[in-house]
Each structure stands twice: as structure tokens, then as C-alpha cells.
């Protein structure tokens, strides 16, 4: 089960101790045996953890139906929780998309560096390079190559 879902045995035991996974029984050799339902539950938990949900948030989602007094209450609670998680995921996807585009730009610039013929010593010569001093050098490239920007001349507060 751990291998199928990409988890470690330690993680499966941790989730069992946390009360969010329940083995059906144990084998004669003492191994935990889980149903297909628990396998799907572990995959759901793993996916939610990968989406940065805390164990308490996941537990809350898993226990919504058990705590609700009616199907309507359970559905409303689940809808609210899922809407919140969708918003968080969308925000993270926007960050990933921005970072991906920026890293792709940095990669293009670095590809030019492979053909560098600048006689000035590296890395100080990079500041005079037309590739690295041109407009539109992404922030990630400025950070990786320790380049200055116009913003370096101003200060920011916490």
C-alpha cells in the first residue's frame, strides 16, 4: 500500500496512529492489511498533503460527514472546505506559472552565457554584459547571477 501510493511505511504508520487510516486486520505475520477503500483514502491524503494541507485540515475534511447532523450540513461543510482549498491551489498555481515563466526566461539568458567571450573576469564582468544588463532580466536571473537592478538603489522596509 505504501509503495502503490508513493508513501513510506513510516508515513502509513503515522497516519494510522493519527487516526486517519485504519487497517482492516493484521496478517498472521503482524502486517497491516488495508482495504481498497483505505488505499483510496491514503491516496487522497497524500494528494492533499502534496497540496500543502495540514494533517488537521485533512482530518477535518475526512470527518465532515461523521460530524454533520444531516446530508445538507455535511455538503455545506464540504463545499466550504473544498472552495477554500481550491482558492489556495489556484493561488499556488499562479505562483508556479509565474515562476515557471521566469525560470524559462533565465534559462534563455543562461544559454547565451555558454557562448560568453567577455574578457573581464567572471563574475564581475557579467555586470557589463549586454545580455545581463539588458531590459527584462527576470528577478530569478538577477538573484542567481547577483546582478543589480534599479531597485537596488532604493530601500524597503519589513
* CATH number of the domain within which 45 lies: 1.10.1660.10
Indicate whether 68 belongs to any domain: no
Indicate whether 157 belongs to any domain: no
- Distance, CA of 108 to chain centre: 25
Q: What pLDDT, on a 0 to 100 scale, did the predictor assign at position 158?
A: 60
Indicate whether 33 belongs to any domain: yes
Q: Which of 157, 107, 114 is nearest to 137 (CA)?
A: 107
Helix (H, G, I), strand (E, B) or coil at 90: helix
Q: What pLDDT, on a 0 to 100 scale, did the predictor assign at position 155?
A: 55
Distance between CA atoms of residues 44 and 6, nearest Å? 12
Q: What pLDDT, on a 0 to 100 scale, did the predictor assign at position 144?
A: 78
Indicate whether 103 belongs to any domain: yes
Q: What pLDDT, on a 0 to 100 scale, did the predictor assign at position 122?
A: 72
Which residues of the chain are modeled with pLDDT < 70? Answer: 147-158
DSSP 15-55: HHHTTS---SEE-TTS-EE--HHHHHHHHHHHHHHHTT--H
Domain hosting 126: range is 91-148
Amino acid at each position: 500500500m505504501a509503495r502503490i501510493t508513493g508513501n513510506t511505511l513510516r508515513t502509513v504508520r503515522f497516519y494510522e496512529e493519527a487516526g486517519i487510516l485504519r487497517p482492516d486486520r493484521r496478517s498472521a505475520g503482524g502486517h497491516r492489511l488495508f482495504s481498497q477503500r483505505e488505499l483510496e483514502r491514503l491516496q487522497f491524503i497524500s494528494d492533499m498533503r502534496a497540496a500543502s494541507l495540514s494533517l488537521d485540515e485533512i482530518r477535518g475534511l475526512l470527518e465532515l460527514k461523521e460530524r454533520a447532523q444531516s446530508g445538507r450540513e455535511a455538503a455545506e461543510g464540504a463545499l466550504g472546505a473544498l472552495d477554500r482549498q481550491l482558492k489556495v491551489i489556484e493561488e499556488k498555481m499562479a505562483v508556479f506559472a509565474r515562476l515557471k515563466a521566469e525560470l524559462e526566461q533565465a534559462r534563455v539568458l543562461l544559454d547565451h552565457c555558454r557562448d560568453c567571450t567577455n574578457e573581464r573576469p567572471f563574475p564581475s564582468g557579467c555586470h557589463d554584459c549586454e545580455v545581463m544588463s539588458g531590459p527584462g532580466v527576470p528577478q530569478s536571473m538577477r538573484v542567481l547571477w547577483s546582478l543589480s537592478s534599479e531597485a537596488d538603489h532604493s530601500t524597503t522596509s519589513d
